[in-house]
C-alpha cells in the first residue's frame, strides 16, 4: 500500500521542506507517494528506520529512501538516498503532511451545518466548522479553527481550544476543557461520571461527580476512550499526551506532560502518572498510586504499588506452551507454603 503525497515533489524540494541531504540520485527526481519498503515502486519514497528491516531494504524497488548514515549501505544502488538524522521522525513529518492534506479534504466546511443545534449563547471563534448532527449547548466556548465532525456533542459550559478537532460522535460533557491543537477520535467520551458509590445498608449510594476533565494542548486521544470527570478535583491530562484506542481513565487521575498510553490500558481513580511515562497495551494501574517521571511499563503489566524510581517495569507470565504454563502456575500457588517451609529451615539452621 502507498499514500499519495499532496503534490508530486522533487527530492530537492523534499529536503528543503523536511531536512536532510541527497547522498545519491538526481535532485530533480520526482516522488509521488509514500510507501513501505516491500510495496514501494519507482515513483515512491520509502524509509529505513532500524536494522531489523535491512533485509526488506536490500530488495526494495523504491525510487528513493529516507535513511540514516549508519544504514545507508543497505539500500540498493539504483535507489536515490536521502540521508536524515532520524528517519522515523522524518517519515512521521512526511506522513503528517499527507494526513493534513487529507484532513482538509475530509473536514466539514467552515460554518454550521443546517442540521446542527447550537445554543444562542454559545461562543464560536473564527473559522469554526460544525458538522451535521452536532449539538453545542449553552455557554460553550469553541475556539478559532475548531472542527466538529458529524454527531459531536459539546455540553454546557465546555471549552475547546483553537484548532482542535473532534472527528465524529465525540461527547464532551458539561464544564470540561480541551486545550489547543487537540485531536479526539470517534466515539470517545470525555467527562462521564467517575465510578463512585458509597455502601449503605447493603446497597450503593451514588456519589455525584462534581469535578471536570481538563485536557492540555497538543493531546491526541484515540477512538472509544472514556475519561471520567473528577469527584471533586479535576481529572487532568497534561500537554502533549497521546492516548491510544479503548483506554479508561478513572476520576481524579492526573497524567503528566508527554506521557503515552497504549490501547486497552486502564487507570483507576486518583492515580498520578508522571511526565514522559510510557505504558504498553493492556496495562492496569491500581487507584491512588503514584508513578514518577520517565517510567516505562511493558504490556499487560498490573501495577499494584507506587513507582518512585525511573526505569522499565514488567509483570505477569510471558507466553509459553500450555502444559508448561500449568506447571508454572501450580508452582506460583505453592510459593506461600514454600516460603514458610524455607523460613522454618532457616530457623533450624540458625539454631545449630
Q: Minimal CA–CA distance to 140: which of 168, 113, 109, 161?
A: 161
Residue for grid cell 503525497:
5
What distance lies between CA 313 and its chain's CA centroid?
A: 20
| CA angle in degrees (0–180, nearest 5) for 111-115-120 | 65
Which residues are known to be catalytic?
Answer: 251
pLDDT tens for the 352 residues of the chain, in order:
578 888 899 999 999 999 999 999 999 999 999 999 999 999 999 999 999 999 999 999 999 999 999 999 999 999 999 999 999 999 999 999 988 877 777 778 899 999 999 999 999 999 999 999 999 999 999 999 999 999 999 999 999 999 999 999 999 999 999 999 999 999 999 999 999 999 999 999 999 999 999 999 999 999 999 999 999 999 999 999 999 999 999 999 999 999 999 999 999 999 999 999 999 999 999 999 999 999 999 999 999 999 999 999 998 777 899 999 899 889 989 999 999 999 999 988 875 5
The model's pTM: 0.86
The separation between the first and the last C-alpha atoms of the chain, rounded to the nearest angstrom, is 73
Measured distance CA(116)–CA(299) in Å, rounded = 41
Closest to 266 in 3D by CA, of 296, 287, 238, 235:
287
Picking from 257, 292, 246, the residue whose alpha carbon sits closest to that of residue 271 is 292
All three cell numbers of 210, joined, read 462534581
Beta strand 260-261 with 80-83 is unpaired
44 strand-pairing partners:
33
Amino acid at each position: 500500500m502507498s499514500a499519495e503525497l499532496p503534490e508530486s515533489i522533487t527530492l530537492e524540494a523534499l529536503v528543503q521542506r523536511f531536512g536532510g541531504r541527497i547522498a545519491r540520485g538526481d535532485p530533480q527526481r520526482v516522488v509521488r507517494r509514500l510507501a513501505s519498503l516491500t510495496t514501494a515502486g519507482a515513483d515512491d519514497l520509502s524509509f529505513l528506520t532500524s536494522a531489523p528491516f535491512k533485509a526488506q531494504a536490500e530488495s526494495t524497488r523504491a525510487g528513493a529512501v529516507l535513511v540514516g548514515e549508519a544504514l545507508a549501505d543497505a539500500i540498493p544502488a539504483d535507489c536515490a538516498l536521502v540521508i536524515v538524522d532520524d528517519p522515523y521522525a522524518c517519515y512521521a513529518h512526511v506522513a503528517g503532511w499527507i494526513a493534513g492534506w487529507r484532513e482538509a479534504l475530509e473536514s466539514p466546511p467552515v460554518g454550521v451545518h443546517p442540521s446542527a443545534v447550537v445554543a444562542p449563547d454559545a461562543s464560536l471563534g473564527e473559522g469554526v466548522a460544525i458538522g451535521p448532527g452536532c449539538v453545542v449547548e449553552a455557554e460553550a466556548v469553541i475556539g478559532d479553527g475548531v472542527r466538529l465532525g458529524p454527531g459531536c456533542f459539546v455540553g454546557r459550559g465546555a471549552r475547546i481550544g483553537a484548532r482542535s478537532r473532534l472527528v465524529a460522535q465525540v461527547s464532551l460533557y458539561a464544564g470540561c476543557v480541551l486545550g489547543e491543537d487537540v485531536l479526539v477520535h470517534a466515539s470517545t467520551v470525555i467527562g462521564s461520571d467517575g465510578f463512585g458509590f458509597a455502601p449503605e445498608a447493603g446497597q450503593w449510594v451514588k456519589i455525584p461527580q462534581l469535578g471536570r476533565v481538563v485536557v492540555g494542548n497538543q493531546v491526541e486521544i484515540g477512538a472509544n476512550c472514556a475519561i471520567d470527570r473528577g469527584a471533586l478535583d479535576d481529572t487532568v491530562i497534561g500537554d502533549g499526551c497521546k492516548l491510544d484506542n479503548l483506554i479508561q481513565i478513572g476520576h481524579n487521575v492526573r497524567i503528566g506532560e508527554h506521557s503515552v498510553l497504549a490501547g486497552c490500558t486502564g487507570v483507576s481513580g486518583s492515580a498520578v502518572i508522571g511526565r514522559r511515562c510510557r505504558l504498553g497495551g493492556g496495562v492496569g494501574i491500581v487507584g491512588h498510586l503514584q508513578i514518577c517521571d520517565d517510567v516505562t511499563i511493558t504490556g499487560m503489566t498490573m501495577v499494584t504499588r507506587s513507582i518512585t524510581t525511573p526505569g522499565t517495569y514488567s509483570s505477569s507470565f510471558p507466553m509459553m506452551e500450555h502444559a508448561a504454563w500449568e506447571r508454572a502456575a501450580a508452582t506460583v500457588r505453592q510459593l506461600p507454603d514454600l516460603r514458610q517451609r524455607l523460613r522454618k529451615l532457616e530457623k533450624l539452621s540458625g539454631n545449630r
